[in-house]
A = this chain, B = another copy of it.
Amino acid sequence: MNSILITGGNRGLGLGLVKTLIRQQSLQKTQIIATYRLPEKSEELLALAKQNANVFPVLTDLTNLERYEQLVNEVGSIVKDEGLNILFNNAGISPKSTRLSFTKADDLVDTFFTNTVAPIMLTKELLPLLKRAADRQPEAPLGPGRACVVNMSSILGSIAENREGGLYAYRSSKAALNAATKSMSLDLLQSGIMAVALHPGWVKTEMGGSKAPLSVDESCDAIVKTLLSLNESHNGGFFQYDGKMLPW
């Protein structure tokens, strides 16, 4: 694995993933590209980049689709001929609306845009770099040695596991992302690119709250382990941090 791009890499799970990747002895030469939107909320990521030559922060607002072409150029200038091995669509939002009576159309649309449209469109734009990485190892098995799209989903996007109701904006955006992930896994297979949806567990982040049972480090250590073990059998599936398969 020569390179990985993590969206929303300045805080929460995104920053946790950057830190876990830095700690991996086997990935000391892996380029870790992390997008961030607000410099004033990205001090830790920017400090990590100063200390680690393989960490590349890229300033971008993922809701601005017109910026994607420039983002792809920037990523291309980092990964060069090696291409991009892993696109980790991590950035997401979770509005506070809960029950149907309090659901707002704007929340539904904004959450869908950030959690579903942005990952789909970013994957589309980064396809040439993902294909380039996959083509470097044409005989290798599917996996992080070729190219993977990892979409950060949530157990809350599992329709089968929904026993609490509510959360229309968040749940529908993640179910939609899961649907897109399955289509990606079929559409991109012939290019040697696989796609999976990941649930990070219930994690102590701004989104998960302080009552969550998992620390960011625990979740990210397990996610990276799962990431490095991805193979053809995982393509198009929905897995939690530790590799356990989840129902749609």
- Which A residues are within 8 Å of any B CB, using their own CB? 65, 99-101, 103, 105, 108-109, 112-113, 116-117, 120-121, 123-124, 127, 157-160, 162-168, 171-180, 182-188, 247-248
Contact = CB atoms under 8 A, between A and B. Distances in A.
B184 A179 contact: no
By secondary structure, the A interface counts as helix
- Assembly stoichiometry (copies): 2
Contacts of A247: 248
A172 B116 contact: yes
A164 to B, nearest CB: 7
Contacts of A99: 187
A163 B176 contact: no
B108 A109 contact: no
Contacts of A159: 175, 178-179, 182, 248
Given A109-B113, A117-B105, A120-B100, A186 B172 contact: no
Nearest to A164: B186
A180 B168 contact: yes
Nearest to A163: B186
Given A179-B172, A183-B166, A108 B124 contact: no
